[in-house]
Amino acid sequence: MRKIYADNAATTSLHPQVLEEMMPYLTTVYGNPSSLYQTGAVAKKAVENSREKIAQLIGAKSANEIYFTSGGSEADNWAIKGMCRALKKKGKNHIITSKFEHHAVLHTCKALEKEGFEVTYLDVYENGIVKVEDVKAAIKDTTALVTIMYANNEIGTIQPIPEIGKLCRENKVIFHTDAVQAMGNVYINVEEQNIDMLSLTGHKFHGPKGCGALYCRRGVRPDVLIDGGAQERSRRAGTENVAGIVGLAKALEITLDTMEKRNARLTKMRDRLIDGLLKIERSRLNGDRTHRLPGNVNMCFEGIEGESLLLKLDMAGISASSGSACTSGDLDPSHVLLSIGLPHEIAHGSMRLSFSDDNTEEDIDYILEQVPPIVDYLRMMSPLWEKIKEEERNG
């Protein structure tokens, strides 16, 4: 049976060249970067070269602006909690975010509400895009931070980040973006785009899991995350994940080198898949059709349960998702689909397919061949579908 991995928004395969780059640091070069002897110094150099490389790749001014973390969730938590707690001391207690952020951002904001922060959750409308004028209207004297994701992880919609960055700069408000999903798919330059803080993680672009980074513009200083040793300029203590850091930098380099070619290829595949799936009756594409990640397809099929669709797809060898990996198993429909105005029963019948360099046109052919009969089959047994058809007949 064919095996198709179409859940690259959840995680990606490790690039062989990335593994190769990491290998020495998993084997012979095991010295502690903080130590003075040779093998430690080699490890230290690898960490600092990686920091320099990442800084250059995202358009940062200096390597000192890059802090390594255990991934995207940690970077988001640190950026938001660390910055807001630091600014609370200056009388700022208001946060602006959107309704459809990743839970690493949303749950962090909820936690801060319990500490007395006020949070504005902006609408994302039917197309899944935040309006710059809404951000503008929400900013007030007490606003500590604006945090808006670069691209949504479920529906792939790309946000007007350079415009929001400009607005925040004009209003002297710190701007953080969770760029975990966008990195490697969209042109990102923190200087040009007025981004003050940015989260990224390696495993979304063929790097290792458990290693990410937080960019903090010079002078932007969130509270210390982990007390202890002097690693990460004494702001995030703990012996560095040397192999992970080396892999993160290498993966970022490869993904940005190959971005243009990949985007052209994936956009074509994505659009062909969307057109094909939209031929299924009572189907819909979730999120803006053009302002979306090249590898993201998110559809709803009325009258069926997303979970059963995913199980049938799995039996056909296709790994897909109903949205966010973190909430699968959850019975509530995705907060992202609800945020773009889908009613509960429709949001339940959703499917996300996400592609990477590993996928081919043949994968799209196979998916287009498999999905329609599966949807038909599930609808045949669905009381919900029967009701929909009945309503259709009664006009």
Ligand X SMILES: *Cc1c(COP(=O)(O)O)cnc(C)c1O
Q: Is 181 in the site for ligand X (CB under 6 A)?
A: yes
**From the candidates 84, 211, 300, 326, which is the catalytic residue?**
326
Binding span for ligand X by CB under 6 A among 173-181, 184-192, 327-335, 372-380: 173-181
What is the biggest distance separating any 2 CA atoms in the chain, rounded to whole angstroms? 81
C-alpha–C-alpha distance, residues 46 and 52, integer Å: 10
Considering the complex, what minimum distance in angstroms separates the CB of residue 268 from ligand X?
A: 23
CA distances from 316 to 202, 374, 380 (A): 29, 10, 19
**Binding to ligand X in span 129-148, by CB under 6 A:** none
Dihedral-angle region of residue 102 (phi above 0 means left; psi in -120 to 50 means alpha; beta otherwise): beta
Q: Which of 300, 342, 339, 286 is nearest to 106 (CA)?
A: 339
Considering the complex, what minimum distance in angstroms separates the CB of residue 221 from ligand X?
A: 22
**Binding to ligand X in span 185-204, by CB under 6 A:** 201, 203-204
Q: Which is nearer to ligand X, 203 or 217 (CB)?
A: 203
**Binding to ligand X in span 208-237, by CB under 6 A:** 212
Q: What number of chain residues touch ligand X (CB under 6 A)?
A: 15
Mask 13-52, x = binds ligand X (CB under 6 A)?
A: ----------------------------------------
CA distances from 70 to 7, 213, 240, 300 (A): 21, 8, 10, 33
Considering the complex, what minimum distance in angstroms separates the CB of residue 262 from ligand X?
A: 18
Given 44, 81, 92, 102, the residue binding ligand X (CB under 6 A): 102
Considering the complex, what minimum distance in angstroms separates the CB of residue 18 from ligand X?
A: 15
CA distances from 76 to 58, 101, 127, 215 (A): 17, 11, 24, 11
Q: Is 54 in the site for ligand X (CB under 6 A)?
A: no
For residue 285, the cross-strand partners are 299
CB within 8 Å of 391: residues ≥ 6 apart: none
* Cβ pair 87, 174 in contact under 8 A: yes
Binding span for ligand X by CB under 6 A among 68-76, 250-258, 334-342, 355-363: 68-76
Residue bearing tokens 């898949």: 273
Q: Which is nearer to ligand X, 212 or 244 (CB)?
A: 212
Q: Is 156 in the site for ligand X (CB under 6 A)?
A: no
* Cβ pair 158, 291 in contact under 8 A: yes
Q: Is 157 in the site for ligand X (CB under 6 A)?
A: no
CB within 8 Å of 88: residues ≥ 6 apart: 117, 144
Given 31, 33, 71, 306, the residue binding ligand X (CB under 6 A): 71
CB within 8 Å of 62: residues ≥ 6 apart: 55, 218
Q: Which is nearer to ligand X, 108 or 263 (CB)?
A: 108
Binding span for ligand X by CB under 6 A among 70-78, 107-115, 158-166, 277-285: 70-78
Given 43, 149, 225, 245, the residue binding ligand X (CB under 6 A): 149
Strands 143-147 and 94-98, how do they pair?
parallel
For residue 326, indicate whether it is catalytic: yes
Considering the complex, what minimum distance in angstroms separates the CB of residue 196 from ligand X?
A: 18
* Cβ pair 260, 61 in contact under 8 A: no
Considering the complex, what minimum distance in angstroms separates the CB of residue 73 from ligand X?
A: 3
Q: Is 354 in the site for ligand X (CB under 6 A)?
A: no
- Strand residues in 20-153 grouped as ranges (E): 66-69, 94-98, 118-122, 143-147
Q: Which is nearer to ligand X, 149 or 304 (CB)?
A: 149
Q: Which phi and psi (to 5°) does residue 199 adopt?
A: -105, 140
Given 12, 50, 73, 286, the residue binding ligand X (CB under 6 A): 73
Q: Which residues are catalytic?
A: 326
User: What does the binding site for ligand X look like in residue numbers (CB under 6 A)?
Assistant: 71-73, 76, 102, 104, 149, 153, 178, 180-181, 201, 203-204, 212
